[in-house]
Structure 1
Amino acid sequence: MKSDNQIQEPMNVALYARVSTGRQENEQTIESQLDEVKRKIAEDGNTLLPQNIFIDDGWSGELLARPSLDNLRDAAKDNSFEAVYVYDRGRLSRTFFHQELVISELSDLGIQFISLHDVKATTPEEKVLQSMQGVFHEYERIKIAERMRRGKMYHAKEGKIINGQALYGYSYKKREDGNVDYLINHDEAGVVRKIWNWFGNDNLAVHTIQRKLFDLKIVPQKGKSDFWSKSVITRLLKQETYVTGKAFYNKSEAVVAKHPMNNGKYKKVKKSSRKVKSREDWIPFDVPRIITDYSLYEKVQKKLEYNRVYANKKSKYDYLLSGLIYCGCGNKRVGDGCSKNGHFYYRCIDRIRSGVYERKCKSS
């Protein structure tokens, strides 16, 4: 019987590596994994072909559906290799059950599973011990995540700013003592003031503001698109922080999206949406004010409330399902016309909205 870590004859093998966060990617964790595993393969005298290197870079271990892991499992069924090397079991998944599923699948195909940082599993006793290690790995990851959460909460309650995505109009600046200052980003703050002035004083509609921002070549914060969505502009107009000078930590939490925009097979993260927490859970900290005219704030909020109450009442027809049903692309469907027989039509918002957006919906 062959040993997992001392292979007697050269074999054709595969390598699987994964990291989940942008920070890990920047620190080249994938490269460090690959380097160590490749060295071990070379020490064992095995052959690693380029097509048998499978990498999921920036993919969460909570989800089993990952492109390269699926490719590895398909290649295993085609007998493309005789063993799979990994840095540790946690590369397969954060979840013990998922780890066991993949390892069992490989074992049933006669493929060895070799983990550099877990005990060997050549005997039934060793396999049980390695499985127990997998359980403790999952438990330890949960403990680490909880310690980080509690540490951040403690520091936030002590008045220290916790790094994250700065609100549009602001930037973080790290001090020598390791703490962070929340400063005005003057370019973005200027855009905030423009949007508030256009909406509150010039009485421009949100879709008109969209067009003006596009014409002025002002792109949203993340820079993934040249276009501002109406929801982002509306959130900026609702943002109290610009007026009160109070920002909040622990305001929301990550949740699984009920209606994800990406309905494809693969999702890099499981919890891709956010849910606002109860206000008593928010932890405030002081930031500079961007809007100093409180009367402008009152104008903006009154207009937003008026639009919320009366906008839907201007419709020619009463579309009861508007905004409650979803298109196959993930966008909401809204009322768009009525037939002579009184049948209402609901179309994808991406197909009927006007403005500067490129239409991406391909659902029938």
Structure 2
Amino acid sequence: MYLEISNPMEYHAALYIRLSKEDETIGPSQSVTNQRSLLEEFVQQHRLSVYDTYIDDGWSGTNFDRPSFNRMIQDIEAKKVNMVITKDLSRLGRDYIMTGHYMERYFPEHRVRYISLLDGIDTGIDSTANDITPFRAIMNDMYAKDISKKIKSVKRDKQRKGLFIGGKPVYGYKMHPTEKNKIVVDEPAAAIVRRIFAMALSGQSCHSIAWQLNSEQIPPPSVYAGLPSRKGRYAGLWSSERISEMLLNETYIGNMVQGRQVKINYKSKKCLKQAPENWVVVENTHEPLVDREVFRQVRLLVDSRKTTRSRTYDYLLKGIIYCHECGARLTVSNRKTSKGEYRLFFVCKTYQRFTKAGVCTCHVIKVDTVTDAVVSKVREVCQSYLDADKLLPLAENALKENEKQNQTEQQFTEIQKKIDLMTANLDRMYTDRLEGLLPEADFQRIFNRIKLERRQLELQQEELRSLLKTPLNNSDKAKELVQNFLESACTSRELLINLVDRVELDKEKHLEIHFRIPELQHFSG
């Protein structure tokens, strides 16, 4: 340590300490106590003022989203800190990209002097140690990558041996009280799991099972495990998706199923779902909750219902109509009326999934009734906003342009005929030349002339083609063109989607239309 601070009174230092679980295996030299002692000795020798000490214990160097590190950055932003001191560069981080960002960009832009004691790095002075900093960062990154590979290899080996390495076992099991990496039956939850399989075997659908569990107020797996509840309309409730996932999980027949997801790499927290053939499945590792034959029969029942979900219905308001109370999209169901006819009805999706949970109401109403009301209102707004007299000159110009377009199409066709004729002549000339009926000199002279003329026609044709790209309305009369637009435009889904952002239906069957264009909101009242 040969660093010198010529003006110590100008600095407010941050002592940053980081220790990961991997560092603990190296030895006591990396401990928090050792790092703190080294940093405090340095600041005392150089009479530096310490603003605060920031400690991230148990955090990987590849992850820069650390609580104390973020707190230090906030203090730098607030201009409370203008010097950062670490034991070595790896304490700052092991991701060479992010380390380089802070070293080369962030710290200099915020006038922060960075010092790494054991590496001899000091951004406040010019030194050879600063020049090789990028290489040190890359070496630290490679170390982290190597550690990640070793940890991944150990975890994969444990998975192949049927040892549980996850955070929490699936619903129905719990961690063994004494043995590591082993799961045992959690009887209260296991009873619910057995009941779910029994209901599925009796023919009940996943939706029906979820409805029954919710009606009995049985807590779902996340609530039972005490995990943070997700936000939204379905928080704290069973869903058909959750039931379906449980019914297909081989863990319940005694097989250890792991490796469903894998991290992208050692620098990212994001995980990617794996295809079932890439899962690590080890048979007979723990006590089963369900008989294998029962599991097989239930899987057949679940798979047989997958195709029934493929039926969809097309309707004008699809994707833009919502429940006013809960905010969920309204879905449709095909129901039989009192006259024995089948009609599409809107129904609140939340109510449909959690009928007895009291989350929302049904909002049942005919799709045609709502569609007619929306179209009528949109048409009324458009006619109030658009002046037919002002549209008339536009329509007349369109008809004139249409006449020009017809002339252009005719001209385009005539040029094409000339080009085809010239091409046929060239083919005959080439045949005559091969048969010796046309001398080479005459062939070249005539060939070049016809080729030049054909090229000129092709250029004219390209200009005409650009004029024909945008098709025009073929109405015969301008007034009919305007009237047809005002009467039929609102039934165009493409136009409706561009005009209307969302339609809300409340429990009293009242409609609220939200237009995308602010001017139309005024006319909608």
Bin for the TM-score computed over the shorter chain: 0.5 to 0.7
Query: In structure 2, what is the Cα distance between the partners aligned to 1:35 and 1:7?
Result: 26
Instruction: Please name the residue that 2:308 is paired with.
Output: 310
Instruction: Please name the residue that 2:100 is paired with.
Output: 100
Query: In structure 2, what is the Cα distance between the partners aligned to 1:5 and 1:276?
Result: 54
Instruction: Please name the residue that 2:280 is paired with.
Output: 282
Query: In structure 1, what is the Cα distance between the partners aligned to 2:248 and 2:298?
Result: 8
SS at match of 1:214: coil
Distance 1:183 1:215, change over 3 A: closer
Q: Deviations over 1:134-187 (max 9, x none)?
A: 211110111111112223333444x351422323322333767xx643322223
Partner amino acid, structure 1, of 2:252: Y
Query: In structure 2, what is the Cα distance between the partners aligned to 1:215 and 1:169?
Result: 14
Are positions 1:246 and 2:255 aligned together?
yes
**Structure that is richer in helix per residue:** 2
Unaligned runs of 5+ in 2: 24-30, 230-234, 321-327, 334-345, 361-513, 515-525
SS at match of 2:288: coil
Instruction: Please name the residue that 1:48 is paired with.
Output: 50
Identity of aligned residues (%): 16
Are positions 1:223 and 2:233 aligned together?
no
- Higher RCO (CA-CA < 8 Å; seq separation 6+): 1
Between 1:58-67 and 1:9-18, the stretch displaced more is 58-67
Partner amino acid, structure 2, of 1:131: P
Instruction: Please name the residue that 2:400 is paired with.
Output: none
Instruction: Please name the residue that 2:336 is paired with.
Output: none
Is the CA contact (8 Å cut-off) linking 1:4 and 1:112 kept in structure 2?
no
1:149 to 134, 152, 173: 152
Distance 1:184 1:4, change over 3 A: farther
Per-residue deviation, 1:13: 1.4
SS at match of 2:289: coil
Query: In structure 2, what is the Cα distance between the partners aligned to 1:298 and 1:9?
Result: 74
Q: How many residues align?
A: 317
Is the CA contact (8 Å cut-off) linking 2:15 and 2:39 kept in structure 1?
no
CA RMSD of aligned residues (A): 4.7
Per-residue deviation, 1:47: 2.8
Equivalences for residues 110-259 of structure 1 within 5 A: 110-116=111-117, 118-121=119-122, 122-157=125-160, 159=161, 161-165=163-167, 166-173=169-176, 180-201=181-202, 203=204, 205-212=208-215, 214-215=217-218, 219-225=223-229, 227-230=236-239, 231-243=241-253, 245-255=254-264
Query: In structure 1, what is the Cα distance between the partners aligned to 2:244 and 2:156?
Result: 29
Per-residue deviation, 1:35: 8.1
Distance 1:106 1:146, change over 3 A: same
Per-residue deviation, 1:103: 1.7
Per-residue deviation, 1:188: 2.5
Instruction: Please name the residue that 1:259 is paired with.
Output: none
Is the CA contact (8 Å cut-off) linking 1:12 and 1:83 kept in structure 2?
yes
SS at match of 1:14: strand
Distance 1:155 1:298, change over 3 A: closer
Q: Deviations over 1:10-55 (max 9, x none)?
A: 531124456789x99xxxxxxx648843762465133333xx5556
Per-residue deviation, 1:88: 4.3
Distance 1:66 1:352, change over 3 A: farther
SS at match of 2:132: helix
Distance 1:212 1:128, change over 3 A: farther
Query: In structure 1, what is the Cα distance between the partners aligned to 2:132 and 2:351?
Result: 56
Distance 1:227 1:56, change over 3 A: farther
**Structure that is richer in strand per residue:** 1
Instruction: Please name the residue that 1:291 is paired with.
Output: 290
SS at match of 1:113: strand
Unaligned runs of 5+ in 1: 25-31, 257-268, 323-332, 339-344
Per-residue deviation, 1:300: 2.9
TM-score (norm 2): 0.48
Instruction: Please name the residue that 1:301 is paired with.
Output: 299
Distance 1:285 1:240, change over 3 A: closer
Partner amino acid, structure 2, of 1:276: Q
SS at match of 1:85: strand
Is the CA contact (8 Å cut-off) linking 1:14 and 1:48 kept in structure 2?
yes
Query: In structure 2, what is the Cα distance between the partners aligned to 1:212 and 1:57?
Result: 45
TM-score (norm 1): 0.66
Query: In structure 1, what is the Cα distance between the partners aligned to 2:251 and 2:350?
Result: 31
Larger Rg: 2
SS at match of 1:94: coil
Distance 1:109 1:221, change over 3 A: closer
